[in-house]
């Protein structure tokens, strides 16, 4: 009875906390004026008021990157066509349709298509009992017809979505909007990824080169990477990065997780880990990554955090670092106490809850991870409260952003590596020991 009372008390406390946070967010709705919100509203107006031939040529849609929202009619039609598929394959077709739709809907969502497609094809093999006892695929029972039907779903979605623009000879214009390579390697505020570390290393090497008189000062651009402008720039010492290079790096980072998804299946949880790794890999190595894209990895990882202590540790490091990396987006004085308070509430509750859940296992953090997470406090104090009163503010205004980006990039990269180790070393579903 006492245990039930404690559980009921915890549930009531969580309900009150969730309700309080929800009401607080509702109160803040009138103050929400996001650039992305305006972009989406602008895009809806464009697609509603203009013919399809002018969607991607309208001047005010210059920064609109989303694919036009005319999927509604196609989804309605597909829902009627889908009933003629094999019932046991319907879930796989829906998954593959989601993969192709995701690929075309928004450029951020491309990161999930690898895992979705591989998992869909693998599920096709599983549905025809094409797996051995250890969970691997039995190729002699592979069904070409079923895989072809999956391919037809992808082809149908792509053809109907891009068909009108293909007829109007507008595909190059669409791709130039969906993938704006001329906007540069990094966003105006560097996302905390591998390229932020790469940029800083180039900056450090250039300073050292100038001090040692190994570089010509006249040939070095002034604050090209830290100017806060969305533009292309060249590195000084390290090789400059091209869109093709980021694509290759992202592909190489994603492939191991996709291979594990196929050759060493770990069930739905393995599929979810692959999705998260695809999101993190694209965030770390993608071209012109927005800092908010880290949420695409944090949200699905929260589902795994209650399953294993190792996943809980990775989640806490990633979510704390990822949320902190978004602080520079909320830069006005009234937003400062709100963002700090909300993050503290979420972080403290997450850590305490997961520690309680896994109290019988090893500690969630080692000394190095604890030291790193505690370092976020002094970093915030320096960036928000000390730096504005120094003489460096006018001469080096980019320093707070640079420090935040680089410090958080270390934590996010560490989380990516730690999650990859768990995926590569974890046993297949068929070989998991029963408790």
CA separation for the pair 146, 89 (Å, rounded)? 8
Rounded to 5 degrees, φ, ψ at 22 are -60, -45
Residue 330: predicted pLDDT: 86
The pTM (predicted TM-score) of the whole model is 0.76
CA separation for the pair 7, 72 (Å, rounded)? 44
For 332, the 3-state DSSP assignment is: coil
CA separation for the pair 285, 248 (Å, rounded)? 9
Residue 128: predicted pLDDT: 45
Give 170's contacts (C-beta < 8 A, 6+ positions apart).
53, 56
CA separation for the pair 174, 176 (Å, rounded)? 5
Residue 150: predicted pLDDT: 72
For 433, the 3-state DSSP assignment is: coil
Residue 54: predicted pLDDT: 77
Secondary structure string (H, E, C) spanning 106-163: CHHHHHHHHHHHHHHHHHHHHHCCCECCCCCECHHHCCHHHHHHHHHHHHHHHHHHHH
Q: Which residues pair with 137 in a beta bridge?
A: 131
Question: Using an 8 Å Cβ cutoff, are 158 and 104 in contact?
Answer: yes
Residue 393: predicted pLDDT: 87
Residue 418: closest CA among 350, 323, 317? 317
Residue given tokens 């002699």 in the structure block: 140
Q: How far is CA 291 from CA 4, 192, 234, 352, 371, in A?
A: 43, 7, 21, 27, 24
Residue 101: predicted pLDDT: 45
Residue 222: predicted pLDDT: 65
Residue 93: predicted pLDDT: 44
Residue 310: predicted pLDDT: 93
Q: What is the mean pLDDT of each run of 10 residues along the chain (435 residues)?
A: 49 75 77 60 69 71 47 40 44 45 49 67 58 55 70 76 82 74 72 91 89 82 58 80 91 91 80 90 89 89 91 96 92 90 92 92 94 96 93 87 94 96 79 46
Residue 82: predicted pLDDT: 45
């Amino acid at each position: 009875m006492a245990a039930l009372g404690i559980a009921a008390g915890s549930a009531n406390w969580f309900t009150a906390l969730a309700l309080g946070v929800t009401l607080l967010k509702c109160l803040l709705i009138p103050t929400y004026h996001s650039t992305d919100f305006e972009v989406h509203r602008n895009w809806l107006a464009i697609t509603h008021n203009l013919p399809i031939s002018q969607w991607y040529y309208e001047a005010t849609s210059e920064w609109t990157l989303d694919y036009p929202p005319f999927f509604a009619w196609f989804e309605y039609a597909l829902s009627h066509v889908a009933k003629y598929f094999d019932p046991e394959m319907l879930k796989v077709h829906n998954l593959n349709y989601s993969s192709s739709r995701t690929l075309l809907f928004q450029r951020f969502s491309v990161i999930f298509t690898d895992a979705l497609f591989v998992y869909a094809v693998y599920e096709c093999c599983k549905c025809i009992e094409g797996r051995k006892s250890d969970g691997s695929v039995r190729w002699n029972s592979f069904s070409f017809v079923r895989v072809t039907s999956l391919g037809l779903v992808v082809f149908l979605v792509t053809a109907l979505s891009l068909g009108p623009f293909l007829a109007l000879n507008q595909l190059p214009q669409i791709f130039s909007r969906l993938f704006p390579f001329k906007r540069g390697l990094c966003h105006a505020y560097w996302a905390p990824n591998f390229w932020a570390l790469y940029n800083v290393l180039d900056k450090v090497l250039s300073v050292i080169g100038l001090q040692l008189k190994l570089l010509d000062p006249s040939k070095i651009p002034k604050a090209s990477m830290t100017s806060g402008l969305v533009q292309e720039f060249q590195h000084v010492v390290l090789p400059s990065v091209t869109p093709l290079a980021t694509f290759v790096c992202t592909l190489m980072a994603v492939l191991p997780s996709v291979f594990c998804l196929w050759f060493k299946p770990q069930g739905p949880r393995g599929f979810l880990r692959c999705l998260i790794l695809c999101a993190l890999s694209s965030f770390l190595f993608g071209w012109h990554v927005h800092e908010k894209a880290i949420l695409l990895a944090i949200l699905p990882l929260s589902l795994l955090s209650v399953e294993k202590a190792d996943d809980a540790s990775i989640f806490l490091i990633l979510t704390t670092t990822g949320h902190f990396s978004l602080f520079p987006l909320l830069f006005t004085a009234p937003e400062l106490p709100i963002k700090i308070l909300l993050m503290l509430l979420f972080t403290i509750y997450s850590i305490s809850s997961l520690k309680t859940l896994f109290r019988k296992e090893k500690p969630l953090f080692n000394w190095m991870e604890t030291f790193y997470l505690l370092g976020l406090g002094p970093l915030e104090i320096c960036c928000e409260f000390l730096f504005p009163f120094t003489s460096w503010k006018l001469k080096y205004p980019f320093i707070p952003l640079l420090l935040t980006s680089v410090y958080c990039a270390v934590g996010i990269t560490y989380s990516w590596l730690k999650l990859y180790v768990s995926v590569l070393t974890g046993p297949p579903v068929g070989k998991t020991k029963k408790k």
